[in-house]
Amino acid sequence: MENTEKKISLPETILLLLYIVPLDGVGVILLLIGLDDFFILDALTFPVTQFYFRIKGVKSTYDLIAGILELIPYIGALPIKTTGVLITIWMANHPKTTESVGSISNIIKSSSGAVVK
């Protein structure tokens, strides 16, 4: 029998998104007004999500990439953090998808190594 238990449940996802989505919304509103948050929103979201995913034992590579992209001026105003959190939760709850993505990346790495001399 397959283990269908998810690492991050729906209530946990909702609570995490109730924190992340409004902060991404504030970033978009500040961009539309012509202001910058000076990495304040990044400092509020990055440690919280990383700490949470580490406690849950989830590989948070996608959230880490989203956190780094948030540091780029004006690109960081887009809802990248919300997207990164959603991708991380999806990959944690669907391990078969994670395995197929890993095998595709291994194929790409091996093929690109063969072409370049």
Q: What is the pLDDT along the chain (117 residues), one digit of tens a residue?
A: 456 678 999 999 999 999 999 999 998 898 899 887 888 899 999 999 999 999 999 999 999 999 999 988 878 888 999 999 999 999 999 888 767 766 766 776 676 655 444
Residue partners of 69: CB distance under 8 A and separation at least 6: 75, 76, 80, 84
Residue partners of 34: CB distance under 8 A and separation at least 6: none
Q: In 3D, which of 74, 80, 93 has the Cα closest to residue 21?
A: 80
Question: Which residue has 């989505």 as its token pair?
Answer: 21
pLDDT of amino acid 72: 87
Asked whether 42 and 70 are in contact (CB, 8 A), the reply is yes
Asked whether 51 and 76 are in contact (CB, 8 A), the reply is no
Question: Which residue has 């990044």 as its token pair?
Answer: 42
pLDDT of amino acid 117: 45
pLDDT of amino acid 116: 46
pLDDT of amino acid 107: 72
Query: Can you tell me the distance from the alpha carbon of 34 to that of 8, in angstroms, rounded to the nearest whole number?
Result: 36
- 3 state DSSP class of 60: coil
